[in-house]
């Protein structure tokens, strides 16, 4: 099956072999999902050092989430969205702006480059946003109610021909 897939990819597309080789190389290079699963919350300094080594961090920079949040030994990373990271840095995986063996943020699906950037302050405060929304809705309603009786077109009836008509 794999050989047939490889043969079809090479025959139909001259770059197909490179594409399949790249997919296989990435699959072999990357880690499996079970390696990213958090372990139990570290209670002793030895468990803390083992968890820091597991996530390729030094003991000084490793800080787990609080135990009541339920993330186990997963490291609490700084809240920096992908959109706020340096775009000119030579990342190992430039699509995600991360390096090889760098742990994902616990809420990575929320703070991706195409999502909400948690590290940026909003342009307007929440009260200003609500006032702008209510002003737009109220203004539209006021214009509708004021102009409801003023029709736009002139009233015209159908043409009436004498007799049978044409």
pLDDT for 16: 59
Check: pTM over 0.75? Answer yes or no.
no
pLDDT, tens digit, 9 for 90 and up, residues 16-59: 556 665 565 555 555 556 666 788 999 999 999 999 998 889 99
- Report whether 67 contacts 38 (CB < 8 A): no
pLDDT, tens digit, 9 for 90 and up, residues 92-138: 988 888 888 888 888 888 887 787 778 788 889 999 999 999 999 99
């Amino acid at each position: 099956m794999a050989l047939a897939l490889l043969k079809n990819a090479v025959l139909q597309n001259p770059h197909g072999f490179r594409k399949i080789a790249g997919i296989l190389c990435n699959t072999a290079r990357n880690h499996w999902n079970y390696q990213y699963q958090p372990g139990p919350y570290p209670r002793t300094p030895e468990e803390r050092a083992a968890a820091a080594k597991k996530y390729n961090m030094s003991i000084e920079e490793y800080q787990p989430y609080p135990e009541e949040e339920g993330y186990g030994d997963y490291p609490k990373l700084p809240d920096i969205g992908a959109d706020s990271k340096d775009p000119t840095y030579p990342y190992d995986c430039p699509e995600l702006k991360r390096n090889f063996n760098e742990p994902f943020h616990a809420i990575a699906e929320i703070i991706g480059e195409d999502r909400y950037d948690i590290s940026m302050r909003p342009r307007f405060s929440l009260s200003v946003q609500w006032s702008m929304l209510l002003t737009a809705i109220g203004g539209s309603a006021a214009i509708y109610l004021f102009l409801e009786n003023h029709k736009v077109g002139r009233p015209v009836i159908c043409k009436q021909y004498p007799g049978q008509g044409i």
